[in-house]
Amino acid sequence: MSKKQSNATKQANAQRAAERAAAIRREQEAKERRRRTLWVSLAVLAVIAVVVAIAVGVQSGRDTTGEAATPPDGAVDTYALPMGPADAPVKVSVYEDFMCPFCGEFEAATRKSLEEYAGQGEVQVQYHPISILDDASNGTDYSTRAMNAAGVVLDNAGPGVAKKFHDLLFENQPEEGSDGLSDQQLIDLAVRAGADESAVSRPIQDLEFEQWVENATDAASKAGVNGTPTVMVDGKIVEATSTIDQLVSDTLGTIEATLKKE
């Protein structure tokens, strides 16, 4: 009945009070930590979001795809070098990159047959160069330079010479990952194909048709071309197969079948 608490009780009370205080402190610390985590997270996420938004704007500005470009005289379908008569019953589009080794194989395997079809007036071949392997030439952008040169030759010397130049580019195809042919080598091949050196030198060096190259590549991508070589017969893609031999025989087979239907 004594009002005086025993020493033991006092001690126990003091300990409880200390524990309560510690618990409150812990809780405050935890709260503080959560608050800090939240703010740091929001700040970092906001920075990421802003940087991504700015970068999208910058990249979109750097990407000149789709800006107006004058196609070379003589181009068909805006972006292609034609071989064979425009009124041929079957149109064959060949999408290729001058740096692409598989395209070189495809060219070597199909050239004779396609030339025969074109010569007989049965097929118009539309060679669509595109530039997707610029990063495979040690920074010299060979794909773009070669396609620009093809455009220059077409513009200056017409489809016949351009086709010959196109063939020469594949016959002298540089190894993927090398510097590619130099501008001077491109000019020499253009002259060998029959172009006038004084007419083609400057525009080959100055990339006169660079924007046309870019737009061609984008148009091909929108048309469903996801790699090279891609072949279309009358606008329909000949499905890519695991080997070039297969693609060659599928291509020639599809042309035969389409001709029979005509």
Partner 1 sequence: MVTTQTRPAGHTLWSWAGAAARLIVGGVWLVAGVLKVPDPAGNVRAVRAYQLLPESVVPTVGYALPILEVLVGACLLIGLLTRVNAVLSGLLLLAFIVGISAAWARGLQIDCGCFGGGGGPAANASDKYPWEIGRDLGLLLLSALLVWRPRTPWALDNRVLP
Residue 140 makes CB contacts below 8 A (sequence gap 6+) with: 179, 180
Asked if 248 interacts with partner 1 (CB under 8 A), we say: no
Report the residue from 35, 55, 70, 197 that binds partner 1 according to the rule CB under 8 A.
55
Report CA dihedral (186, 191, 195, 201) to the nearest 10 degrees.
50
Looking at the Cβ atoms of 10 and 20, the one nearer to partner 1 is 20
The verdict on 40 binding partner 1 (CB under 8 A) reads: yes
Distance CA 144, CA 72 (A): 15
Q: Judged by CB, which is closer to partner 1: 44, or 257?
A: 44
26 lies in the site for partner 1, by CB under 8 A? yes
Q: Find tokens 């590619």 and name the residue.
A: 180
Question: Under the criterion CB under 8 A, does residue 24 sit at the interface with partner 1?
Answer: no
Q: How far is the CB of 1 from partner 1 (least distance, A)?
A: 35
CB 162 within 8 A of CB 220: no
Cα–Cα distances (Å) from 227 to 67, 131, 224, 240, in that order, read 23, 10, 9, 9
Residues from 102 through 121 that contact partner 1 (CB under 8 A) = 102
Cα dist. 68→79, 141, 151, 254 in Å?
13, 21, 16, 35
Chain-centre distance for alpha carbon 110:
25
The answer to whether 255 contacts partner 1 (rule: CB under 8 A) is no
d(CA 207, CA 183): 10
Give 119 or 227: the residue with its C-beta nearer to partner 1. 227
Binding mask 216-235 for partner 1 (x = CB under 8 A): -xx--xx-xxxxxxx-----
Residue number, 12 or 48, with CB nearest to partner 1: 48
For partner 1 (CB under 8 A), the number of binding residues is: 49
Residues forming the site for partner 1 (CB under 8 A): 22, 26, 29-30, 33, 36-37, 40-41, 44-45, 48, 51-52, 55-56, 59-60, 62-65, 100-102, 132-136, 214, 217-218, 221-222, 224-230, 239-244, 247
